[in-house]
Amino acid sequence: MYPDTTLRIDDNPSSLSRLLLSPGETVSNPRRGSWEGVFENIDTLMIFIFDEATVKTVPWDTIRKNYMILKRYDLSYEDLVKMEWRVVYP
């Protein structure tokens, strides 16, 4: 895998419970500032979708090694504008 496709050890979603979303829920930029401001430093936003039960029951190291994601989105600023800033899964 390329470095930009690997899950980092510090990306453990179980430690990021504030980013847990329920169906139909929306989230504001978890960092202070605007979503537009996020793209001042990056050209692509990666969003990883995990199964909640997997995150709660499988060690993060196993999730990382086996790349146990449901979906990954690689989105540019332009993509998000076209999508009206909505990312829908599935």
Q: Is the pLDDT of residue 20 over 80?
A: no
Query: CA 18, 44, 23, 32 torsion: positive or negative?
Result: positive
Count other Cβ atoms within 10 Å, centred on residue 63: 20
Alpha helical stretches, state H, the chain: 35-38, 52-57, 60-66, 77-82
From CA 84, how far away is CA 17, in angstroms rounded? Answer: 25
Amino acid at the residue 8: R
Q: Is the pLDDT of residue 64 over 70?
A: yes
Domain ranges of the chain: 3-25+33-82
Q: What is the pLDDT of residues 75-88, one digit of tens each?
A: 999 999 999 888 98
Query: CA 35, 40, 44, 48 torsion: positive or negative?
Result: negative
Q: What is the pLDDT of residues 24-63, one digit of tens each?
A: 888 776 566 777 888 888 899 888 898 989 988 999 889 9
